[in-house]
Amino acid sequence: MISYKKDEFLIMKNEELWAFYKNYKNEICYTILKEDSSGEEVSLIKDCHKLLSVILSNNGYIYILAISSTKALMFYTYSDLGIRENTLLNYSFDMEYIQVISLNNSLNLIYTRYDNSSLSLYHRIIDSNLYITAPVLIDRIQKITDFPFIATVNSTDLIVLYLKKSQDYYIGYRAFSPTKYAWGSFITLDKSPLLPYDYSFILGENNLSALSYSIKDNYNSFLRYGIIIDNVFKGKTLKTTENVNNYSYLIYEKDHFYLTYTFKNKLFLNLLSVGGDLISIDTIPYSKESKIEKYIVQSDLDSVSFTSAFILYENNKLKYSVLSLISRVINNEPKHSAATKKVDTTLYYERQLIEKERLINKLNLDISNLKNDISQLERTRTTVESKDNEIRALKEDSLRKNSSTVQEYERRLKDKDILIKNLNSIVSDLQEKLSDKRKVIDSLTLSNKELFDRITLLQENSDTVSKLKLQLLDKESTISNLRLEIKTLQNEIETLKTSRGSILKKFFE
């Protein structure tokens, strides 16, 4: 079995391996590990409740995140000048496991905690002013061993690999962009048929990375491994018909990936080709009493990168450190000509394979985009046809409505014509009556004149004159009535003319 050191941290600095831990006195200490010897324990911080993380910065400083005995969240900076402490929070927060990654002049806290029995992955940031942000939920995850996730960085982004919580076992990652201050979507790399119990992940250059993980059932054990090209995992599987545990970790160095794994008391050191072939470099046997520890490791090495590694103890003494195992992998490549030729040939075809894989991925992406464009065009065509049918239906309905409206207007026009003819007939009759009245008035005017003449002739006879005056008054009254009647008729004629003009105006409107 292997032991996972989640509460101890390894820092590789100036080709020395520093181990940080909390001792039985609740002190944070470090020891420089050396093979076949015991290092001196150096105490840095007293009264520590829990050591959370140790971070190696680009400037060579060592940052320590811990919870003090008063349960405050503390941040320490250790350098050649000594140690400086800062209080981030006067209280601590719940966490199951934490990794701290330095990126873009900030420290990124990636940690897990249980929310209603579900293991959740969170993110917080400590900026250059030692301000800590509020937690952001990344995802719900499935626990794998004591290292439930692997956090690392490429040139620009923070990458967190984990097993997503679902009915199936999806291994993948999400990336955090400091410039966009946002997490990307989950990228699935592989679907495991069983729950993995150990895994390793490493980023390379040119958008390459590698993944390995272990699974087993009641009868068989499997180690799945391979190179990831543009988020496509080309995995292969080592299978044994024995129910044994095997563990692994990955190294990247100068365009090379290396896979180290355990099996039946042996360490197998291999070069991992892009095509998935394992080229054996060395095999290290160890006894059943030996002890292997797996750590999360940080290093200041520029040419070599790894996220985890093994340490091998025999008889309670360090037999192989991280540095010695890495050196044995990198420096002990096969020297004989056949093996060297195989490695050189493999590297040549690996580069060709990478380009072909990228071309295939690009073509597949282009095909996918074209399919999406075709689907979009089909949806557009369907929409246009639907709109065209709607417009045609609206036009037909509008024509039917317009035809009905025209017929209604024609009917109203005929009614108006009839009304106008009737009004013209009435006006003609009234004009004839007016002419008759004028003739009567002329006749009465003449009779009135004759009466005045008679009155003049009969002035001598007063009785006759009086009677004639009375007759004259009667006649004048009659004339007034007639004139009033004439005026009434004239008003009626004017009213009819006005009504006719209004009707004609409304019609033409």
Sign of CA dihedral 387, 388, 394, 397: negative
Whether 451 and 472 have beta carbons less than 8 Å apart is answered as: yes
Least Cα distance to 260 among 286, 228, 234 occurs for: 286
The answer to the question of residue 120 being in a domain is no
pTM, two decimal places = 0.66
Cα separation, 331 vs 91, in Å, equals 48
The answer to the question of residue 489 being in a domain is yes
CA-to-CA dists, residue 450 to 442, 443, 446, 447, angstroms: 13, 11, 6, 5
Which residue(s) pair with 50 in the sheet? 67
The answer to the question of residue 126 being in a domain is no
The answer to the question of residue 180 being in a domain is no
pLDDT at 4: 81
Cα separation, 20 vs 41, in Å, equals 10
From first to last of its 509 residues, the chain has per-residue pLDDT tens of 577 888 889 998 888 889 999 999 999 999 998 876 667 889 999 989 999 999 988 888 899 999 998 889 999 999 888 899 999 888 877 888 999 998 888 999 999 999 888 999 999 999 988 899 999 999 999 988 778 999 999 888 999 999 999 888 999 999 999 999 999 999 999 999 999 999 999 998 877 899 999 999 888 999 999 999 888 898 899 998 887 888 999 999 877 899 999 988 889 999 988 778 888 888 999 888 888 888 888 888 777 888 888 888 888 788 888 888 888 877 775 544 345 445 544 555 566 666 677 678 777 887 888 888 888 888 888 888 788 788 888 877 777 777 778 788 788 888 888 888 888 888 888 888 888 777 877 777 777 777 777 767 766 666 665 776 777 788 778 888 888 888 888 888 888 877 766 665 665 55
SS3 418: helix
Cβ contacts of 404 within 8 Å, gap of 6 or more: none
* Structure letter (DSSP) for residue 229: E
SS3 188: strand
The answer to the question of residue 315 being in a domain is no
Cα separation, 150 vs 125, in Å, equals 17
Per the structure, the count of domains in the chain is 1
Whether 271 and 279 have beta carbons less than 8 Å apart is answered as: yes
Which residue is associated with the tokens 């690009």? 362
Range of the domain at 459: 412-508
The answer to the question of residue 502 being in a domain is yes
